[in-house]
Amino acid sequence: MPDRFHEGSGRSGGARLTVMPMAGPRRRVRHDADRYEERNTVERVINKLRSWRGIATQYPKTSDRHLAGLHLRASMIGVRDLTRTAH
């Protein structure tokens, strides 16, 4: 999924704009706000997963252990987010 589009590149191939263009072009480019919000959410979760050293450095030697670490970290993030919104 491309981040930015320049005039003529990527647009004719059917790719859709997800990230808002940088301030500078004189004309407005339409973007899908819902897709932008979803992409932002996914990027934030990935960055939260990367902040855990075991996943970022891929210490587990097997894919099963790595997947278990991802599940553990995702559940920790989910529980933390639930406790924040419960107040």
pLDDT in tens, 49-87: 888 777 777 676 788 888 888 898 889 888 887 787 655
Structural domain boundaries in the chain: 33-85
Question: What DSSP letter does each residue of 28-78 carry, written as one string?
Answer: -----HHHHHHHHHHHHHHHHHHTSHHHHTT--SSHHHHHHHHHHHHHHHH
Q: Of the candidates 73, 69, 72, which has an alpha carbon nearest to the alpha carbon of residue 61?
A: 69
pLDDT classification of 33: cutoffs 50, 70, 90? confident
Report the alpha-carbon distance of residue 87 to residue 4 in Å, rounded: 39
- State the average pLDDT over residues 15-27: 64
- Residue 78, number of CB atoms within 10 A of its CB: 11
Query: What proportion of the chain, given as a percentage, has pLDDT over 90?
Result: 0
- Of the two residues 1 and 59, the one the predictor is more confident about is 59
Give the per-residue pLDDT at 64.
86
Output the average pLDDT for the chain. Answer: 74
Give the per-residue pLDDT at 55.
73
